[in-house]
Every structure is written in structure tokens, then in C-alpha cells.
């Protein structure tokens, strides 16, 4: 590592230090902010797609929407899988009953969930 000083050190030393802040600096800033006009206070209301676009411009809202879509998709897949299992179970029950007693009515004893009233 070279022992020579950094050439920027002289420039930093020559730079004047910032003046101290006023005692009421925070109050001045708050007063200036209070005097600023509120953005879009007098503007007409935006169409719904612009409001939606503005909401999805926020990363948290976009991530929340994606998570909700994923959860709804998982719920729909689980409901479909449960219905498929119920149909399979009904077919197994009916074939088992027919195997035990071949003279039973051909009408299904177990009905799938969508056939129930």
C-alpha cells in the first residue's frame, strides 16, 4: 500500500465547513412545508384505471397483488383436487359395492359432490 497521501485530502481540507444550523431550523422547515400547496387538491378525480396504475406503481401494492393472485390460484387448484378426489372416492365406493353384491342396482350408491342437491 503506498504511503503517499490521497490527492483528494488537500481538496477536502480546503473545503469550508458548513455553517451551523439555526436553532429554529426544524420549525422553519415545518412551516414551509405547511405553506406548500397540496398536490392534486384541486385536480379533478382521476379515472379508475389511472388510480389503479398509480397504486400498482408502488412496489408493495404490486407484490401484494401478485401474492393474492398466487393464493387464489392455489385455492382454486386445491378445490379442483378435492373435487377430483371426491369423484374418485365415489367411483371406488360404487365399484366396491358392485363387487360385493353384483345384483345391486346400477344406480350409484355414492354420488360425487356435484351430483348432490
Question: For residue 113, what are the contacts with CB-CB under 8 A and spacing of at least 6?
Answer: 83, 86, 87
pLDDT of residue 68: 97
Alpha-carbon distance values, 1 to 4, 73, 74 (Å): 9, 59, 58
In angstroms, the CA 9 to CA 11 distance is: 5
On whether the CB atoms of residues 108 and 86 are closer than 8 A, the answer is no
Helices (H), the chain: 7-14, 25-35, 48-56, 59-100
- Whether 73 has a pLDDT exceeding 70, the answer reads yes
* Higher-pLDDT residue of 26, 108: 26
Q: What is the dihedral of CA 26, 31, 33, 39, to 10 degrees?
A: 170
Mean predicted lDDT score pLDDT of the chain: 83
Amino acid at each position: 500500500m503506498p504511503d503517499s497521501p490521497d490527492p483528494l485530502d488537500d481538496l477536502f481540507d480546503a473545503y469550508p465547513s458548513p455553517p451551523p444550523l439555526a436553532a429554529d431550523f426544524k420549525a422553519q422547515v415545518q412551516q414551509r412545508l405547511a405553506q406548500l400547496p397540496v398536490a392534486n387538491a384541486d385536480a379533478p378525480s382521476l379515472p379508475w384505471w389511472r388510480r389503479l396504475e398509480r397504486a400498482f406503481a408502488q412496489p408493495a401494492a404490486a407484490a401484494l397483488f401478485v401474492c393474492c393472485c398466487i393464493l387464489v390460484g392455489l385455492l382454486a387448484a386445491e378445490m379442483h383436487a378435492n373435487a377430483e378426489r371426491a369423484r374418485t372416492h365415489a367411483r371406488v365406493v360404487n365399484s366396491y359395492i358392485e363387487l360385493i353384491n353384483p345384483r345391486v342396482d346400477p344406480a350409484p350408491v355414492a354420488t360425487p359432490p356435484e351430483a348432490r342437491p
